[in-house]
Amino acid sequence: MIDPWRRLRTLRGWELHWHRPEDDPDQGFTLFEEKVISLRTNLSWEERRCTALHECLHAERGPTLVGVLAEREELRVRREVARLLLPTIEDVGEALAWASSLDEAAVELLVDVDVLCDRLRWLDPAERDYLSRRAARAA
């Protein structure tokens, strides 16, 4: 299993800071010049794990331009986070088969619901087929 905190420690010269929701509503952000990753203090364990990895990937990939390029980069990072934290579709299928909600499945998979939804958003055809077959068996 990937450990976002270990990955954060491998970023030479980077520091982890915490911010309050009233100071910034974002779950996390990366300040490239200062080499700071900041996470919001009131995140759940799963949200912290996912957001820490998300911001690590931004730090590793470096700053991007604004506008459309920044939006594309954000989507790339979200997709990579989902694939790194949920690498096997079989685990996703099992959690979805018994859980009563996406939130419950996400907690079982040790991710937040946004990462689970991102993983489902970017399924390849074989993965989509597997989940359809798994859901049919559960019904």
Both 60 and 96 in one domain: the answer is no
pLDDT tens string 83-138: 999 999 999 999 999 999 999 999 999 999 999 999 999 999 999 999 999 999 98
Question: Is 56 contained in some domain?
Answer: yes
Last residue of a domain, one of 12, 36, 69: 69
CATH code at 35? 1.10.10.2910
For the whole model, what pTM was predicted? 0.94
Question: Is 76 contained in some domain?
Answer: no
Question: 106, 80, 102, 96: which is closest to 128 by C-alpha?
Answer: 96
Length of the chain: 139
pLDDT tens string 125-139: 999 999 999 999 987
Both 54 and 24 in one domain: the answer is yes
Both 38 and 101 in one domain: the answer is no
pLDDT tens string 47-57: 999 999 999 99
Question: How far apart, in Å, are the Cα atoms of 79 and each of 12, 50, 67, 106?
Answer: 24, 12, 19, 16
Question: Is 126 contained in some domain?
Answer: yes
Both 12 and 64 in one domain: the answer is yes
Both 57 and 95 in one domain: the answer is no
Domain range for 38 is 1-69
